[in-house]
Amino acid sequence: MNPIKRETYLCELINRKENGLIKVITGIRRCGKSYLLFNIYYEYLLSQGVSEENIIKISLDDEENEELREPKKLSAYIREKLSNNDSMHYVFIDEVQYAIKKEDLKSDKPLPLYGVLNGLLRKDNVDVYVTGSNSKLLSKDVMTEFRGRGDEVRIYPLTFKEFYAYTGGDKAEAFEEYALYGGLPLVLSKKTPREKMKYLFDLFKEVYFKDIEDRYNVAMPEVLQVLTDDLCSSVGSLTNSLKIANTLKSVRNINVNSQTISTYLTYLEESFLFNEAKRFDVKGKKYFSYPSKYYCTDMGLRNARLNFRQQEETHAMKNIIYNELLARGYSVDVGVVQYTSKGTDGKQHQIQCEIDFVVNDGMNKYYIQSALNIDDANKEKTELRPLTATRDFFKKVIVTKTRMKPWLDDSGIIHVGLYDFLLDESCLK
């Protein structure tokens, strides 16, 4: 089998090399950030003639480096390494959030870690790269705490294209495996279904929830877990904190207010477990305040959280397409469009419908509808209606779970099979 190369992300790091900014590599735990930096990019630097002694690698989640979680000691350690020569040094710090203390978060003063990193950037012979698994402490603070000198590279679990490049074989069979166990790289090293399931189960219990509870001092951990179950069970469904709070009260007899739910939703997003897709009024050119849709960052984690009981193809397909679009670097919303239709009463009525994904790529915009199949005229009309109702000239695509080659219908809508869509990034161009 071929090694997992992560070429897209390697190119992003190469393009940012020695740009005078702190490269902040973010993403969910176990998605491959460390491997990208400490193996793939490290080997690239060596191939370019950089000596090993000029690459300083520090893994803060390793107990052997526990004392380096103290910012002053971390700074002293790095600066001692830099004193050996004046040539360019590349500093890699893995899981940098370990150097941020809870008490520091309560202070109004800048976090000591940010001072360390900004201090390193003042040196002409240092190029800094850090990884982390908490967006609040990293990506959201990059432009403020790093004073405009941060450059985020968001890493996602393997796309289906990366997954298939590793596994090969029949595309349909590979997709079913991917949809079931997801794209966390280490899943591919597990030989049996039982091993894959256990790995994913343990990640949620021993890593993700533990990280969140430790970082935020979660007062109601049982609510956090039930909320996670609810989001996993209803991926791609409209929801908001008030609706979830009411559901927990009526169905599970759990009394919790909407503000607590909203806070816990933020924790889950900041830990990269879920992504929020906001609803956008296509014709009114504005966002709705609520409700939103939430998608799981990895389908394997989602399935594991539900004990692999819920395998709805429609929801899984939409979640995978959404994640694929994010991994390609697009901004993605849920589209809302209204059209006028004559009802059975003979009167004209305003009808609201949804476009699964409104994709923004710089100055380009695409509308994408996801459907398992459109094998009869009524279903085809229903699926295509949101696209034709926009009445604009942006590219419109419908993705179906088929092996069909892309084709253009009389309304200017591109029909493309799921496997081609996921494996060929140029299909939107």
99 plus 176 within the same structural domain = no
Helices 258-270 and 221-233 cross at an angle (nearest 10°) of 70
Residue 206 lies in a domain: yes
203 plus 315 within the same structural domain = yes
> The whole model's pTM is what?
0.93
131 plus 185 within the same structural domain = no
Q: Where are the beta strands (DSSP E) in 314-394?
A: 331-342, 348-361, 364-371
Q: State residue 153's pLDDT score.
A: 93
Write the DSSP assignment of 253-292 as a string of letters. -----HHHHHHHHHHHHHTTSEEEE-EEETTTTEE-SS-E
CA nearest to 87, candidates 54, 41, 49, 129: 54
303-314 tens-digit pLDDT: 999 999 877 899
CA distance 311 to 248: 23
Three-class SS state of 401: coil
The 8 Å CB, 24+ separation contacts for 13-21 are 13/37, 13/41, 13/44, 13/129, 13/153, 14/44, 16/151, 16/153, 17/127, 18/88, 18/127, 19/151, 20/121, 20/149, 21/121, 21/149, 21/150, 21/151
Q: How many domains is the chain built from? A: 2
363 plus 323 within the same structural domain = yes
User: Where a domain ends, among 123, 154, 185?
Assistant: 154
112 plus 187 within the same structural domain = no
Residue 210 lies in a domain: yes
56 plus 101 within the same structural domain = yes
Residue 184 lies in a domain: yes
CA distance 243 to 258: 8
CA nearest to 25, candidates 213, 212, 272: 272
123 plus 261 within the same structural domain = no
Three-class SS state of 301: helix
Decide if 51 contacts 85 (C-beta within 8 A).
Answer: no
122 plus 245 within the same structural domain = no
CA nearest to 295, candidates 325, 261, 259: 325
Q: Which domain holds residue 196?
A: 157-429
Residue 2 lies in a domain: no
Q: State residue 360's pLDDT score.
A: 94
CATH number at residue 104: 3.40.50.300
Decide if 233 contacts 306 (C-beta within 8 A).
Answer: yes
Residue 1 lies in a domain: no
422 plus 300 within the same structural domain = yes
User: Where a domain ends, among 108, 123, 154?
Assistant: 154
Decide if 385 contacts 369 (C-beta within 8 A).
Answer: no
- What are the residues facing 367 on neighbouring strands? 358, 396
Helices 209-216 and 221-233 cross at an angle (nearest 10°) of 140
207 plus 61 within the same structural domain = no
Residue 305 lies in a domain: yes
256 plus 280 within the same structural domain = yes
55-59 vs 331-342, strand pairing mode: unpaired
User: Where a domain ends, among 108, 128, 154?
Assistant: 154
CA distance 227 to 261: 8
- Please list the ranges in the chain whose pLDDT falls under 70: 1-2, 135-148
209 plus 134 within the same structural domain = no
Q: Which residues contact 287 (CB under 8 A, 6 or more apart)?
A: 278, 279, 280, 281, 333
Residue 120 lies in a domain: yes
Residue 348 lies in a domain: yes
